Structure formats: structure tokens, C-alpha cells
A = this chain, B = another copy of it.
Amino acid sequence: MTKTRTGRADDASDVREVGPAKEDGRLLRGEATRERVLDAAERLFADQGFDAVSIRQIAQEAGVTLGVVGFHGGAKLDLFRTILARRVEMLSSVRLKALDGIDARREPATLHELVDAYIGPYIEFAAEGDPQWNAYARLIARTVSDDRWYPQVRDFYDPVARRYIDAIARLYPSADRETIAAALVMSVACMLSVVASTARIAGLSQAEAADLPTGAPDVRAYKSVLIDFCAGGIERAITSA
């Protein structure tokens, strides 16, 4: 089990190093390759899941050879962890900043605002032109509901989730925390499913089963339905308990 390699892949668990290293304002050569490898892996893992993807596929998708993936990504599992850690910071910080903004005001928060602050950034990232963020969004969906991966992302997401639970608890002082926690977990499930299932929604919108004429609709089309659903769901769950 001794590790003898000395490549960049050893930085895998170093979350502090978020963006690519730069020099003279442009990417270092190796960094550009590293990003290509991580991006390719991110897309493939999001589409097919960890086990269905081979390192060979990743190499091909990234346009490099097998050894290069090993050099930049390390073992397959390290590669996966690196991908998860790479973007989590940004999503969490946006969520926390939005919550701070609400807390700093004079007027009390509304539930709808809180839900929007938590869910909105994810949808915006997923809908953004950058296909890598969309891939990451779908990748998260694979991790949160899987006992094998959840322990690896738990420490990233749960602290932020707790702050939102606290905020909702302040809004409904008589509600019990477990109900709020359940409602938040369900909200997250809704959020993830909308990104992953736009095609299914479009399909079920037709009265009869039919091939979808066009590609899957944009996530943003369902953003307001999603937030309304979650806000209404949380409120009902809390008030009827």
C-alpha cells in the first residue's frame, strides 16, 4: 500500500488548490492537460457513473494517452475525489453568501427566499453555458443518494445544509428539526431530479407516450416550478406535523 509515485496526482486531496495554476496569465502547459483530463473524466462519470467508465475512455475523451491520465489523476478513485472537490467550494460559498445576505437585512426571511438561495445557485450552475458545470451537477446527483459516495461528499455539503436548516427553524420555531431535515433532503432530491430528468418531464407532459421531438428542454424552464414545489412542500410538511 506504499505510494511511490511523485506526480501531480498527489495533490488530489489538497482542496485549497482550487483553480488551475497560472504563470504570466496563461495556463501552464501541464495544467491545461490536467484540466482536460479532469473535465473529460467529469463528463464521463456524470454520464455513466464511476464503475462504467474506464481510464482508457477518459484518456480518449481527453485526447491523451493512458499514462497521462494516471500521471495527472492518480488512481481512479483519487481522480474521482479530485473532481468532486474541485467545484464544491464555489457552490457552497454562493449558497452561504446568499444566506448571509438574507440574514443581514432588517426584514425577516421568507421561506421562498431561503429555498431560492439554496436551490437557485445549483440550477444556475447546471443551466449555465459551461457544460462542465452541468456535468458536475449531474455527478452530484449520483453521489448524494449512494452509500458508497455520500460519505465522501458529506463533509462538503452537510455544514451548509445545517445552516439552512437552522434558518428555517428560526422561521418556524415550533417545528421539530427532524421534519425540517427531511424536508430539506427531499428538496435536494427534487433539485437533483429536475436536472437529471428534464427529458422525463417533457415525455410525461404528453398525454400519450411518444418520442420527444426535440432535445431535452433547458433546466431553467423548471426552476420556478421547482422552487415553488419545494417551498410549498416544506411549509406543508412543517405545519401539518
Contacts and interface: CB of A to CB of B under 8 A. Distances in A.
A201 B189 CA distance: 12
A49 interface: yes
Interface stretch (A17-25, A28-36, A96-104, A155-163): A155-163
A207 interface: yes
Nearest to A188: B193
A122 to B, nearest CB: 14
Contacts of A44: none
A225 B183 CA distance: 8
Nearest to A162: B204
A1 interface: no
A178 interface: yes
A201 B225 contact: no
Interface in A166-186: 166, 177-179, 181-186
A186 B194 contact: yes
Interface residues of A, number: 63
A177 B207 contact: yes
Contacts of A209: 155, 158-159, 162
B193 A181 contact: no
Nearest to A203: B158
Given A48-B148, A229-B237, A193 B186 contact: yes
A165 B166 CA distance: 35
A150 B158 CA distance: 29
A111 B165 CA distance: 27
A95 to B, nearest CB: 15
A92 to B, nearest CB: 15
A177 B204 CA distance: 9
22 contacts: A49-B51, A50-B51, A50-B52, A52-B148, A145-B192, A147-B199, A158-B204, A158-B209, A159-B209, A178-B205, A181-B205, A183-B225, A185-B194, A185-B204, A189-B190, A228-B233, A228-B237, A228-B240, A228-B241, A231-B236, A232-B232, A235-B236
